Structure 1
């Protein structure tokens, strides 16, 4: 279950990172509330995952999921750049996530 918790935490991290854009500097009430709920949920699920997963591995994967997902949604939702070098760097982060999962004993 720890890996499931970690995946949920990562998805919620994407949610709050994207949510920050919609809060317009925390000035819009409902986007701000939803973003805060996503932050709390992300931290909560990360805490559950850390009960059994190594802290360094879990944290790196959590932030990696958040990074890759946020960049992907930034490209789709906000028309951010998607040049080859940027995508290659994101690919390296994704490879690191997969690599850490493969070498993890849990």
Structure 2
């Protein structure tokens, strides 16, 4: 099968910013202060502990970023270790080692 590259015939040129996205982002940014104030007021003023906790999490996510899923990090670290271990090996060598002793 041959590689066929499709010629782009419409839409924005590569690298051209999406004006609609920029407009929507600007509109949202105009209300960001109010949104943060609402989160803080829910965190401090709600009688419901679940709402307080969720508001606190939302605020922390915006300050420090969302927490990393531990299981995802372990998978990434294992993948990186396996890639390092198998560097320079052919696919056939890796498969042979993987199934060695299973048959």
Short-chain TM bin: under 0.3
Which of the two has higher C-alpha Rg? 2
Higher helix share: 1
Higher relative contact order (CA 8 A, sep 6+): 1
